[in-house]
Amino acid sequence: MDLAPDNDQAITRDSLYGTIAENTFAGITSFSRRRYSRDLRGVDVVVSGVPFDTATSNRPGARFGPRAIRAASVQQAWARHWPWEFDPFDHLAVIDYGDCNFDYGSPHTVPHSIQAHAEQMLEAGCAMLTLGGDHFISYPLLKAHARKHGPLALIHFDAHSDTWPDEEGQRVDHGTMFWHAAREGLVDPARSVQIGLRTTNDETQGFAVLNARQVHQRGTQAIIEAIRQRVGDQPVYLTFDIDCLDPAYAPGTGTPVCGGLTTVQALEILGGLRGINLVGMDLVEVAPAYDHADITALAGATLAMEMLCLYAARHKVDG
């Protein structure tokens, strides 16, 4: 393996393209060694963090998720993502923008700050891979994406439905986002699907549900086919709450629930979605204070790379 001629590719790389190996144990930890930049010209995908976790109902700590995912991502930044036959960084100009800025002391302003952050990227013609943060961040992100793309198909991996009602509409809560998204027309429930659920909420809001037991019993290929049939060619927003994985594979999260997916199942399902019209994506709820040996952060980084491969396949490689 040939190492880079200089360390810290996050600030020294000349090109936004390509994979260049450097020591995994050293250097600045941007996502997968992408260049840190605020220049959106010529950029296909922006990786950014939203270190917000005050909408969490159980254990806080996901504010440290973006940093942990970036640190874990360098372990896979030395070669193309397996088992894909192409390197997404050969086809996509990707930068790490850093984190969304917001005033934690004025929580009522945070949703607007996140939405404005996303709109800046989308208006510049960039797609977004967002690292959370608790799952509430998906709500303002969906607002920004729906403003550009219209009603979205939602592919939602989670242990929880996050469709609990908020009749007064005032809660900043990581359990109500998709109730709002369905009622506001941000997503089309008839084209949307939730995978891995294993907590009780009898009101589906019209979403198709493929719960965790169905994944285990039916197998990944059947789940892939059901998802593809549901979303069709509608613009897709993909959100992955790391607690979709069983706590054995992702202990570092705020609301762990036993009986979840394995990392292999999740990766197989994502890989099987090649060709969907992916327009936006996030990976949320990594809380490193509860992690062990960084396995949750590494799972998050790996799943995020799978999303980048899906995006590259649809928009660059497969035409």
* Residue 158, annotated as binding a ligand: yes
315 carries a ligand binding annotation: no
**The token pair that represents 148 in the structure block:** 């550009």
- Cite the beta strand spans of the chain per DSSP E: 35-36, 45-50, 94-99, 127-132, 153-157, 193-195, 208-210, 236-241, 278-284
Beta bridge partners of 171: none
243 is annotated as contributing to ligand binding: yes
Query: Residue 30's Cα: distance from chain center in Å?
Result: 16
Report the C-alpha gap between 217 and 236 in whole angstroms.
26
Q: Which residue in the block uniquely carries the two structure tokens 């996030």?
A: 282
241 annotated to bind ligand: yes
The residue type at 33 = R
On whether 135 is known to bind a ligand per the annotation, the reply is yes
Cis peptide preceding 251, ω within 30 of 0:
no
The helix-helix angle for 110-123 and 138-149 (nearest 10°) equals 40
Q: Are 286 and 51 in contact (CB under 8 A)?
A: no
Residue pair 269/223 in contact by the 8 Å Cβ criterion: yes
Give the number of residues written for the chain.
Answer: 319
Is 117 annotated to bind a ligand? Reply is no
Task: Point out the annotated binding site for Mn(2+).
Answer: 135, 158, 160, 162, 241, 243
Task: Point out the annotated binding site.
Answer: 135, 158, 160, 162, 241, 243
